[in-house]
Amino acid sequence: MQNNQENQGGRVAIVTGGGSGVGKAAALALLGAGWRVAVAGRREDPLRATLAEAAGGEGLAVPTNVADPASVQVLFDRTVRQWGRVDLLFNNAGVNAPGVPLEDLPVEKWREVVDTNLNGMFYAIQCAFRVMKAQSPRGGRIINNGSISAHAPRPGSIAYTATKHAVSGLTKTASLDGRKYDIAVGQIDIGNAATEMAMRMAKGVPQANGEIAVEPLMDVNIVGQSVLYMANLPLEANVLFHTVMATKMPFVGRG
């Protein structure tokens, strides 16, 4: 662990979906700990706003559409050109679909969620593998954002839940395939962090029994610290699955 932290100032991270929410919190945590961070997202202004809030580190804003493999390749090319390597990918970018009955979900919305949450995550993993296995020192770490929805659905969430279940398959397979390259792959499953996407929980959301209930939220910066903890591990150790959630959210139990 000591050697890993001694080199911390020189380590390089890519954070997708870094303009808001969990991605922003993770980017700020990494920057505050001295990492060099390429922050990716569809719009440049939020990325620059994230970097402007940083307490330290060195940042790079890279507008990226993760659903486009060519755009993801540009993200990795620019990062390597800037800093010479990639030590960490926080594979975080994701979107949701309207909470409608599954028979009413437009196919276009289904495809949008799959293209971003599943295909986009694969494109980033693939690019990370290519860079990490070829660089010297070899290896690196990938952390995929799975969500509580990787384990249990909410009503009317078939697209989001299906992709997040698939992310667990990506994590397990990439973790296995990364061993020979010294690439550690893990997943963070987040429940009810106070982000723009989750703020509806405070107003009441549908439960499995048909009721509408307000759900507790936690500070999103707690998630940022969780990502930083996973990122700071030496490559000989890996957190395969890490669940961080609002303590009183309805996840474990029946309802």
Catalytic residue list: 160
Write the Ramachandran bin of 75: left for phi over 0, alpha for psi from -120 to 50, otherwise beta.
Answer: alpha
Question: CA 244 to CA 251: how far, in whole Å?
Answer: 12
CB 38 within 8 A of CB 12: yes
Cα–Cα–Cα angle for 65, 227, 199, nearest 5°? 70
Of residues 48, 240, 222, the one with CA closest to residue 144: 240
Q: Which helix (H) or strand (E) holds 41?
A: strand 36-41
